[in-house]
Structure formats: C-alpha cells, structure tokens
Amino acid sequence: MTPLRRGILSHPAFRATMAVLSVWCMAPGGCGGGGGQSGPLQPQAVVPATPGPGPANTSPNLTTFDVDTIVLQAINEANARGKPATIAVVDRVGNVLALTQMAGAPAGITIVSGRNPNTGLENRTLVPPNAVPSTEAAISKAITGAYLSSNGNAFSTRTANYIVQEHFPPGVQHQGGGPLFGVQFSQLSCSDFNTVFSPTPGVPNGGPHRSPLGFSADSGGLPVYKNGVLVGGIGVMTKNTYGDNLTPLVGVPIDDDEVIALAGETGYTPPPSITADNIAVGGLTLQYVDATPANFAAPVSGTGTYTPVALGGYFAGPAAGQASAPGLIYGSADGASGIAPDGALGPVLYPGTLFTAYVFTDGAGRIRFPPTNGISPPGQAITAAEAQALEISALNVAFSARAAIRIPTNSFAQVTVSVVDLDGNILAMARTPDAPIFGADVSLQKARSAVFFSRTDAAAKVTAITIPASTTSGTFAQYITDSQTLTGDPTVFADGLAWSEVGIGDIARPFYPDGIENTGLYGSLSLPINRWSIFSTGIQLDLVAPDILQGVFGALPPATGCGTGRGLGTGLPVQSGGKTQLANGMQIFSGGFPIYRGNTLVGGIGISGDGIQQDSMISFLGLQNFSEPTPGMTALNNAPAPIRDDNLNPQGMGHLRYVNCPANPFLNQNVQNPC
C-alpha cells in the first residue's frame, strides 16, 4: 500500500487523524470468461509434477548470522553508492528480524504516485511531508517480497508494481487492470487476521504479521531464500519518497534501493528458474529486477557492524547483545510460525484432501479458525461440518488444478481457502503447503467482500458511513448513487443480487469497461482516472484510511477490526461476532463468491494465492462440487443464475462477469470450460 492521488497523505481523514493522534506511539505493544454452470468436477487421482515443498521440518530458517550477513551486505553497497539506507529483514511470516537506519538516511518519507502533480490532488499537505517513518516503508517492502513469493515463484516489489496498475502491462492503453489490482490494500495494520509483533525483544512469534503500509510497489523489496527455500524478505529505503513506477516498460535509471537490496540478498537469492521474469500472465512475463550484480559499486561484503532500531507497533528490537533476531521455521509441526500441517497439533481437521492441508495456529500450539458453526443468519447459518466440507472440496480443486504462477508449470495451484458466514465471521481457513502468504489475508478479504455486497442492506450500510471519502462529494453515498447510475439498477446492493469478486472488480476500476479509456465512464466503486492512483482506489481505501493512518503511528488493531472509522466518522457497524463485516479490509480482484442455501444468502468463500482465473475457478467449483446436505436444511449452493451480477449490462456495454475460469485448467483432465 501507499499514498493516493487523493492518497493516504492527501486523504481527507488525515486532518482529523492528526487531531486524534497527538502522540507518536513508539512503545512496543502500543484474466476472461464466465458462463453457465457445468456439472461437478469428476473425482480425480492427481499426481502433480511438483506437489510442493518437502516435509516442514526440512525447511530452513534465517539465523542471526544469516540476517546480519544480509544487512551488512546491503550496508556495504549503500556506503559504496553514497546512499545511506534504512534496511529491514523479515522472515516468511513477517516477523521483523532486523531493522537499521544508517546515519544520514531519510527518517521520514512522503508517499507520491507520480500522477497529475499539478492538479493539487496528489500531495495535499494535510500532514507535514516526510511524516511516515521510512522504517515502515522498508518493512512493507520486505514483507511484500516475502509474502508474494513461494518455493515456486519469486516476486519482488517491482513485480507488485507491474500487477497492480490500471493497465496490464502498465502504460499500455486499452488493456485491463493488473491481475492483482487492489492487492496493495491487504495485510493491513487493522486486520483481525494478521498478527502483531512479539513484545519480547529478539523473540519472533507466529504470523502472518501485518504490514505498516500494506503491499509495496516501490522497488527495493526482494524475497530471501536459503538453500533454494523461501525464508523471508529484505526491504531498502534510501529516498524520502515512496511510490510506484508508471512506465516500467520504458526503462528507468537503475534504482539504488533495488541494487542495495540485491547486494543484501547475495548468497540468499531465489533459484533463477522461479523469478518473476520466468513467469507469464496472459502471455506476458512479469518483472523481477532491473538491476544485476554488474551494477554493484563495490564487491559484496558482509563484514562490519550496524545499530539496530525498534519500531513501535512492529518490532520490539533484538535481544540484548544482538543486532538481529532469528527467523522462524515456516510450517513446522509445532506451529510456532503460525502455520502447521493439518493434524500436527491434534486431529486432522480436513480428512480426504489429496495432499496434506496446512492450518493456521496461534504460535503456541492452538489452531486458529478450525471449522466452526456460523452465527448468521440464525437458523440457516453454515454449520461447522459444512465449513469443513467446503474447505476440503475447494482444496481438492486446487490440488487438481494447474497453477498459473508457479515453476515448474505442471505444479498444482497453491492457495488459501476462507469460509465466512453472513456477517463475515470466520468459519474455517486452511491452505495448501506452499501457498504465498499474502493469499491468506486476501482470501478472507474476498470472501467477506462477496457476501457483504450481496446483502440487501449493503447500500444502506455504505450510505450511512460518514468517514471522509475521496469522491467528488466527499461522501460514501456517492459510491451507491454512482453504482445506480452505472448499472441502471436503482436498488443496486439492496435487491439481493449476488455479487462475486469478479463482478465487484468490474466496477471497481478507474475505467469502465476495465481498461478502455475513451468511454468517459469509470467504475462506480472506483474513482475516475484523473483522481485515481494505486494509493487511492476508491471505496476500497476510503473504508480503511483512518485505520491505516492509525497504524502508521504504531496503533494496534482494534478488536472490531477494520472499517469502524476510528473516531473520524461513522464506519461499518459491528456485526454478530463483535467485528465489522470487512474486518480485514475489502478486496477487488477475482476469487470470491457468496454462498446460498437455496435462495438465501448465508456466507462467502474466498480463494487467493495463484492466478486470478485459478482463484475464481477454485472458489466457484469448490462450492459447486460441495455436496454435504445437513439434516433439516437445504444444501449449500452457488447463487442461482437469475440473481447473479452477470445479469447486469451497465450502460449497454456488455454484461458484468460472475465467474472467470481458465481453459484446460486441470492437471490430468481435459476439461475446457469447467465453470
């Protein structure tokens, strides 16, 4: 995440935030197709070429020696370049293991998008420039490099920049938005899913951890590998601005942050075959880095010393006498990293999966989000048994599906599956062994977003929000009136229409239809392009802007999660589980569907971690293939076709999409159109 064209630093909520935040909290603890429904996917015996990483206990971790070496290698290059840097290293689940700021490095940053600099929309001085700590930017870069990657793909913050812009590839007109459009507003500091740092110096704790600024599109964040296995990430900041690259295909000067991060990563680089520039999306290979070791200003050296710093809300610092902390072993059987093999800490929760599922833990031996009975709607809520069966069904679709962003190409899809009830309460979460970490939080965002906008009271809830918005009127109500105008539906978000994440994404882009620039239209949940940036995406940001601003100043997440307004206005109401329905934020790219019991909306399912078509297909078929009737209840199902969002034809320019599935998606079955 980062600023907006009315961005975070230019957001209207900043003025009020500065009144509320009088104390700087530094204390520790402080792709397209859609179509009709086909028959169920037939049972398959799947033997993918690459089933994932080996047993969890063979995974390495970053030792303090490793961490210190990485930091010192980066410092050596920074000194040689004359670019004092702020440097962060994290483990795979986001624990900050080292944080240092060289003498002369900018202490604060200004978030800039590089768009329309003379319009007055980009950098309104609602807080002084350079107010966001550069340590937060470095951590966000490191987390992005770690969370977007896996043992089958290595992505950087440069990759992130490439896949979140209004066109893909960036700068090429009349192309749709990036495949992970909107992912920058995930891993939020207010999330009820992502964990907070350990208050004990030098002792990391279970993740996945939150990111100060969400995901970063600013070069200088890379994943870190040890013996070819993903173990974390490095982030570097030498500038006093934090932004994105609008013209990555044009060529830009070699970026100091990226060169320094690359030097730090030396000896801890990913296998060359899995870097982003070997992975194609829509026939286009992605970007990984522009720099190479040939750009180093000095031989790589890991000698010397550095001074660690702590950061309130995110890093308590190393243990006494140390400069860094050791990383955790991802996926170990004790669950210390926050992720463990299903069955390692008790009974198997998801029997019948084609490969072992992985579950989330509290880092102390207890499972988070085991299959649980829903609360809402009363009398028809999803049961624990149904949530369990939905997870198994979706995981088996993933284990059967050909991955889109992994090397080797005949691997199965690696994702996280989230199931929620009508109020967004988490009923179950599980994942495949090597799914990128980012997909955990995002899958939950998708499930919650799909069910929220499918509710008959969604329009009323949005209209009632009084948090300052980035619309021309400054109100959330404009998102509803704009949606009524665009769709031609005067009761949109109030009539029980089923909205998938594909459909929500269709109307959450700065052009309508997506990517087409000459229609004069924009997505009604977005902002027009002259007000849009990756730091100001419309309702997605406006819902959580007060939360992000509080997180910038070290505040811990509220018990109610994201979207309450934080005293800067009325936000979303607290629901049956004591949280808002979008308690970890909203997401606007495909991979989530509402769940129905007959014609009654009862919950949502979200998938994230692989290609967007794979995410959409796995969630759709996971529910479609589900067949676990509960005595006395109608079986769960996808939305009936007559009430799906693809019945809408906004402005007569083509129907919205409901499901977006790839052709020939399975490893051992020649199905061309599974959805």
Which pLDDT tens digit goes with each residue over 370-416? 999 999 999 999 999 999 999 999 999 999 999 999 999 999 999 99
Q: What is the pLDDT of residue 124?
A: 37
In this predicted structure, the answer to whether residue 303 has a pLDDT above a threshold of 60 is: yes
- Position 83 pLDDT exceeds 50: yes
Residue with the larger pLDDT of the pair 645 and 41:
645
Determine how β-strand 241-242 pairs with β-strand 108-111: parallel
Task: Report pLDDT digits (tens) over 488-526.
Answer: 999 999 999 999 999 999 999 999 999 999 999 999 999
pLDDT of residue 58: 61
CATH of domain 339-454+590-634: 3.30.450.150
What residues contact 421, with CB distance under 8 A and at least 6 apart? 374, 375, 376, 381, 382, 427, 602, 603
Rounded average pLDDT over 111-119: 69
Q: What per-residue confidence (pLDDT) applies to 128? A: 56
The burial class, CB within 10 Å (0-12 / 13-18 / 19+), for 17 is buried
Domain boundaries, the chain: 58-295, 339-454+590-634
pLDDT greater at residue 592 or residue 116: 592
Mean local confidence (pLDDT), 438-445: 98
Query: Alpha-carbon distance 505 to 157, whole Å?
Result: 22
User: CA 33 → CA 15, 335, 589, 656, distances in Å?
Assistant: 44, 39, 14, 11
Do residues 653 and 513 make contact, with C-beta atoms less than 8 angstroms apart?
yes
What would the CATH number be for the domain defined by 58-295?
3.30.450.150
pLDDT above 50: residue 28: no
Q: How confident is the model at residue 21 (pLDDT cuts 50, 70, 90)?
A: very low
Residue 188's identity, in one-letter code, is: L
| pTM summary value | 0.92
Among the residue ranges 106-115, 145-154, 478-487, the one predicted with the least confidence is 106-115
Encode pLDDT of 587-609 as tens digits: 999 999 999 999 999 999 999 99
DSSP letter for each residue of 30-74: ---------PPPPP-----SB--S--GGG-----HHHHHHHHHHH
The CA–CA distances, whole Å, from 464 to 128, 457, 571, 586 equal 31, 11, 8, 17
Model pLDDT for residues 224-275, shown as the tens digit of each residue? 999 999 999 999 999 999 999 888 888 667 899 999 999 999 999 999 999 9
Instruction: Give the pLDDT of residue 40.
Output: 30
pLDDT per residue as tens digits for the range 618-635: 999 999 998 777 888 899
3-state SS of 209-255 is ECCCCCCCCCCCEEEEEECCEEEEEEEEECCCEECCCCCCCCCCCCC
Helix (H, G, I), strand (E, B) or coil at 419: strand
Phi, psi of 276 (to 5 degrees): -55, -30
Average the pLDDT over 340-347 and give the result.
97
Token pair, residue 358, equals: 């992985």
Q: Residue 638: is it exposed, middle or buried by C-beta count within 10 angstroms (0-12/13-18/19+)? A: buried
- ∠ CA 148-605-564, nearest 5°, is 80
Please check whether the two domains, 58-295 and 339-454+590-634, share a CATH topology.
Answer: yes
Which of helix, strand or coil describes residue 350?
coil
Q: Which residue has the tokens 């939020």?
A: 188
Distances (CA, A) of 191 to 47, 56, 548: 36, 27, 10
d(CA 75, CA 451): 47
pLDDT digits (tens, 9 = 90+) for 413-438: 999 999 999 999 999 999 999 999 99
3-state secondary structure at position 596:
strand
How far apart are the C-alpha atoms of 291 and 305, rounded to whole Å? Answer: 26
Residue 5's pLDDT band (boundaries 50, 70, 90)?
A: very low
Q: How far apart are CA 323 and CA 462, in angstroms?
A: 47
Q: Say how many Å lie between the first and final Cα of the chain, rounded.
A: 33
Mean pLDDT over all residues of the chain? 89
- pLDDT tens for 182-219 read 999 999 999 999 999 999 999 999 999 999 999 999 99
Q: What is the pLDDT of residue 116?
A: 66
